Amino acid sequence: MTIVDDVSLDIAAGESVAVVGASGAGKSTLLALLAGLDTPTSGKIWLAGADLTALDEDGRARLRAQRVGFVFQAFHLVPALTALENVMLPLELAGRGDARSAAIEALERVGLGRRIGHYPRQLSGGEQQRVALARAFVTAPAVLFADEPTGNLDTVTGERVGALLFELNAQTRTTLVLVTHEDKLAARCQHTLHMDAGRLL
């Protein structure tokens, strides 16, 4: 079964691109391929100047750690770690000596400076997604992949998180690839790609 079929695209550094389409159109799979989480059966994928298809799993993981940020619908915070520890995690994995101070600053930027000692279960959905945003941006990634970042949030919270995503993105000039069902969110991107049955329309 072919999930993504004959897709060819270029995304320039600093651009924001929304990928939209019905459920099952292949949007999340395309995102996973672009990020090197999945490998294509044919074709090539270049990310931040590196050919992902020429790297092994360790090489792809290293590139992601150095150059990529992720925000998912389901937050993906580590339950046993506080907000601060969750944001410090990618910095510590990268061997950064300033992990604590950088993580505190990132949490302050998303309005959670007073919640740094809270565990995910003690935070609302919107707060958890703000922690996820802080974690995604704290490494100053070249590319940020966001898969339905407001999908699990109520309308008002979703709009706040969406606004924060674009605010942080403008500050960091990160390339943004956003999968979303939300027209308002897609409209904030410079370009919109429509997918249907695995193909770009």
Distance of alpha carbon 180 from alpha carbon 159, whole angstroms: 13
Distance of alpha carbon 90 from alpha carbon 106, whole angstroms: 13
Place of tokens 């994928």: 45
Whether residue 4 has pLDDT greater than 80: no
Place of tokens 């510590």: 92
* pLDDT of res. 190: 93
Over residues 69-79, the mean pLDDT reads 90
* pLDDT of res. 2: 62
User: Span 16-200: which CATH code?
Assistant: 3.40.50.300
Report pTM: 0.88
* pLDDT of res. 1: 60
Over residues 145-172, the mean pLDDT reads 89
Q: Collect all residues with Cβ–Cβ distance below 8 Å to 182 and sequence separation of at least 6.
A: 150, 158, 162
Over residues 181-190, the mean pLDDT reads 91
